[in-house]
Amino acid sequence: MISYPNAKINLGLNILRKRVDGFHEIESAFYPIPWTDILEIVPDDSSKGSVVFTSTGIEIPKSGKPNLCEQVYFIMTEKYALPSVKMHLHKTVPIGAGLGGGSADAAFAAKMLNELFELQLSLVELEAIVSTVGSDCPFFIQNKPAFVTGRGEKLAPIKLDLSGLWMVLVNPNIHVGTAVAYAGITPREPELSSKKILEKDIASWRESVTNDFEESIFASHPDIKEIKNNLYKVGAVYASMTGSGSTVYGLFEMHPANLIFSSTYMTKIVQL
């Protein structure tokens, strides 16, 4: 079985407060975009409870822990005694780039295992499983635009449709660690919830839909700020860094032209 785990962007990102558990309370909108990895899972009926994981494409950093896809498998096989499987992940979505690629891989792995072994788990049950491996993972189960709160795991519908727009995504190959990103943040409550702003016309977003990470990250990485400025110069109706960076995206009403970025950057253009 093969699937295509897609990335997401953040539309607005407010850091509201630090929680007693050490995490931060946020509000943001997640929007799925057509930039995908490729994930294959095949059963190995010779045994139960083991997984062979391989990957190609963008190199996945070694952390000493199982990949998120493997972690999902271990959680599900503990509950449902799954047969052994082989997983192969081809990475094209940049890692640590604010695009949720790893979270998407984990969520799609859960959906594939559910289908492959006919577990008949509900969307709510799948969301609960993947929430244990990452805050962003539950979003990718339904994979629809959502307003997110809590650590990013609480999802609510939002009236948000960007279909027909063009998006330019630029990743400057700068890794911004999550801990470093949060260290530069002073949590604060916004005057107006970004949900209400995002449900207005996109032309009003430029001055009012903000990513709280930008101020400190732009100060330490001016190249990322320059990407955003350049997207506006070539006609973006809205541009922002996604997540804690370092990917920056711009939304365009027509196919963008005259784009000039460093050859060391990864640039992708998609139609939503």
Stretch 112-130: mean pLDDT = 97
Q: How many domains would you assign to the chain?
A: 2
Edge-first strand order for the sheet with 51-57 is 2-3, 38-48, 83-91, 51-57
User: 7-11, 88-92, 147-151: which has the minimum mean pLDDT?
Assistant: 147-151
**Domain shared by 19 and 119, yes or no:** yes
* Final residue of a structural domain among 103, 124, 157: 157
* Final residue of a structural domain among 125, 157, 189: 157
| Residue 64 vs residue 169, higher pLDDT | 169
**Domain shared by 41 and 61, yes or no:** yes
**Domain shared by 12 and 111, yes or no:** yes
Whole-number pLDDT of residue 25: 87
| DSSP-derived 3-state class of residue 229 | helix
User: 72-81, 132-141, 173-182, 208-217: which has the minimum mean pLDDT?
Assistant: 173-182
| Residue 187 vs residue 266, higher pLDDT | 266
Q: Indicate if the pLDDT at residue 32 is higher than 80.
A: yes
**Domain shared by 239 and 185, yes or no:** yes
Whole-number pLDDT of residue 167: 97
Residues of the chain with pLDDT > 70: what percent?
100
**Catalytic one of 91, 136, 212, 268:** 136
Band (pLDDT 50/70/90 cuts) for residue 170 is very high
**Domain shared by 50 and 147, yes or no:** yes
User: How crowded is residue 269: how many other Cβ atoms within 10 Å of its Cβ?
Assistant: 14
**Domain shared by 77 and 128, yes or no:** yes
- What CA–CA distance (Å, rounded) separates 142 from 230? 34
* CATH number for 81: 3.30.230.10
E-strand spans in the chain? 2-3, 6-18, 24-36, 38-48, 51-57, 83-91, 146-149, 154-157, 166-171, 238-241, 248-252, 266-271
| Residue 9 vs residue 193, higher pLDDT | 9
**Domain shared by 46 and 153, yes or no:** yes
Q: Are 5 and 87 in contact (CB under 8 A)?
A: no
* Final residue of a structural domain among 106, 132, 157: 157
Whole-number pLDDT of residue 92: 97
**Domain shared by 179 and 249, yes or no:** yes
Pairing of strands 51-57, 83-91: parallel
Stretch 228-237: mean pLDDT = 95
User: What are residue 180's phi and psi, to 5 degrees?
Assistant: -65, -40
For residue 118, the one-letter residue type is E
User: How crowded is residue 203: how many other Cβ atoms within 10 Å of its Cβ?
Assistant: 9
Q: Which of 104-108, 199-203, 263-267 has the highest mean pLDDT?
A: 104-108
| Residue 47 vs residue 128, higher pLDDT | 128
**Domain shared by 143 and 183, yes or no:** no
Q: Indicate if the pLDDT at residue 176 is higher than 90.
A: no
Range of the domain at 89: 2-157
**Domain shared by 151 and 174, yes or no:** no
**Domain shared by 9 and 141, yes or no:** yes
Whole-number pLDDT of residue 51: 95
**Domain shared by 153 and 21, yes or no:** yes
Distances (CA, A) of 158 to 3, 115, 117, 137, 188: 26, 28, 33, 18, 22
8 catalytic? Reply is yes
Q: Indicate if the pLDDT at residue 252 is higher than 80.
A: yes
136 catalytic? Reply is yes
* CATH number for 198: 3.30.70.890
